[in-house]
Amino acid sequence: MGTGQTVAVFGAYGHTGRFVVSELRDRGFVPLLLGRDADKLQAVASGLEYRVASVDDPASLDRALTGAAAVVNCAGPFASTAGPVIEAALRARIPYVDVAAEIEANVDTFTHFADRARAAGVAVIPAMAFYGGLGDLLVTTAMGDWTAADEAHVAYGLSSWHPTAGTVASGTVSRDRRDGRRVRYTGGRLEYYVAESDLPTLEWEFPAPLGRRSVLGEFTMADVVTVPSHLAIPEVTTYMTTGAAADLAAPDASAPTAVDDLGRSAQTFTVDVVVRSGDTRRRVVASGQDIYAISAPLAVEAVQRILDGRTRTSGVASAGEIFDAPDFLRALSAHISVEQVQESRAPQPV
């Protein structure tokens, strides 16, 4: 548990930010609420200290991080916020964690900050959330003693997907940056391409009780950045159940609605990971409730392990590289159910 250390949360009044603040309090940390809107900060403070800061004002970020042991960035679009908040964290020499699902923003973090963060001995972990972080931990766990694999598949089985305002805004920024192109990870690199047709619809055999579901192939998520950042896997593909993809794309998409005292929505998820080396396949599966709520224990567990010194490297790193992935997942057993790695020579489940 935390020992009264102060952890700053940038974007603390956002949907995911509020979950992170609650998780920090539950673990004995002292959340320090940061954001650019004083009224919104005051509305969610509940007796906690808050400070106004803007990514357009580096001095305000420096003042806001004074006394903090770490910072969690929950404010998207991360194309705008990640760089300035990482810069401030490096100046303060404190760890940085974000929950970015934006592929390009995550690439920017690895590209622009790897050398500086390593030289400073500061941990910088992008995509420490449902997308990017959880998939990377699962793939790393499935790899086990393998040092390389031929391919990795991450299939997302969501019962529904009601996006937050932050998700919608971040998606718009990513689409603008791609200029109408799609992105995939193939041949050991990110590839941007002009699509000549819709994404392929496939059938994926999820474990019971979800079972066989239609998924969109090459529905590319942040795992294509985090996984290959440290694992020798030249082909990384992610999939999304068609119903959830339709929810996300709907012009009248509604935000998540809380159904319990924790503020979680009724949404459930299954993340089915398969890695292949030759004709051998390894599989590991995680399931739980509410993709936004689950990002909080993922991010806060990361902070706790960094501050406790339970890390394998410093600098910019994905979850699977910097942490003991199986142990990390076991620590989240109250939030995520994980089925142990299964090895087979059966055909790929697509």
Residues 148 and 282 in one domain: yes
Residue 128 has pLDDT above 70, yes or no: yes
Shared domain for 145 and 106, answered yes or no, is no
Residue 348: which pLDDT band, with cuts at 50, 70 and 90? low
Read off the pLDDT of each residue in 102-114 and give the average, rounded to a whole number: 97
List strand residue ranges (DSSP E) for the chain, in order.
6-10, 30-35, 50-52, 70-73, 96-98, 123-125, 151-158, 182-186, 189-193, 201-205, 212-216, 235-241, 268-277, 280-289, 315-316, 337-344
Tally of CB atoms within 10 A around 259: 13
CB 101 within 8 A of CB 129: yes
Report, as an integer, the average pLDDT of 204-221: 95
Identify whether 226 is part of a domain. yes
**How far apart are the two ends of the chain, measured CA to CA in Å?**
41
| Same domain, yes or no: 194 and 312 | no
At residue 109, does pLDDT exceed 80?
Answer: yes
Q: Are residues 175 and 251 in the same domain?
A: yes
Q: Beta partners for 9?
A: 33, 72
Q: What is the mean pLDDT of residues 206-217?
A: 95
Q: Write the DSSP symbol of residue 267.
A: -
Phi, psi torsion values for 288, nearest 5 degrees? 180, -160
Task: Assess whether 60 and 74 both reside in one domain.
Answer: yes
pLDDT band at 340 (very low <50, low <70, confident <90, very high): confident
Cα–Cα distance list, 192 to 114, 180, 189, 254, 269 (Å) = 23, 10, 10, 30, 28
Query: Is residue 341's pLDDT more than 90?
Result: no
Domain for residue 99, yes or no? yes
Q: What is the pLDDT of residues 264-290, one digit of tens each?
A: 999 999 999 999 999 999 999 999 999
pLDDT at 154: 98
Q: Is 271 inside any structural domain?
A: yes
136, 268: one domain: yes
- Residue 119 falls inside a structural domain: yes
Instruction: Find the CATH number of the domain harbouring 40.
Output: 3.40.50.720
Note whether residue 350 is domain-resident: no
State the Cα–Cα distance between residues 244 and 338, nearest whole angstrom: 22
Distance, in Å, from the CA atom of 73 to the CA atom of 299, rounded to the nearest integer, reads: 10
Query: What is the tens place of the pLDDT at every residue in 291-309?
Result: 999 999 999 999 999 999 9
Output the six-digit token pair for 108: 């920017």
What does the alpha-carbon distance between residue 138 and residue 263 come to, in Å, rounded to a whole number? Answer: 26
For position 219, what pLDDT does the model report?
A: 96
Q: Is the pLDDT of residue 347 over 90?
A: no
Residue 330 maps to a domain: no
Residues 174 and 275 in one domain: yes
Judged against a pLDDT cut of 90, whether residue 350 lies above it is answered with no
One domain for residues 187 and 305? no
Whether residue 77 has pLDDT greater than 60: yes
Predicted TM-score (pTM) of this structure: 0.96
The reply to whether 164 and 45 lie within a common domain is no
- Name the 3-class secondary structure at 347: coil
Task: Name residue, tokens 């305002």.
Answer: 165
In a domain, 327, yes or no: no
Q: Place 195 in a pLDDT band, splitting at 50, 70 and 90.
A: confident
pLDDT at 349: 53
Q: How many domains does the chain have?
A: 2
126 in Cβ contact with 110 (< 8 Å): yes
Domain identity same for 135 and 161: yes
Together in a domain, 173 and 231: yes
- Residue range(s) defining the domain that contains residue 109: 6-129+295-322
At residue 21, does pLDDT exceed 80?
A: yes
Say if residue 288 is exposed, middle or buried (CB neighbours under 10 Å; 0-12, 13-18, 19+): buried
* Mean per-residue pLDDT over the chain, rounded: 96
Within 10 A of 115 (CB to CB), how many other CB atoms are there?
A: 11
For 132-169, the pLDDT digits (tens) are: 999 999 999 999 999 999 999 999 999 999 999 999 99
Average pLDDT over residues 40-55: 97
14 and 117 part of one domain: yes
Give a yes or no: residue 68 inside a domain: yes
pLDDT at 196: 81
Instruction: Give the CATH number for residue 256.
Output: 3.30.360
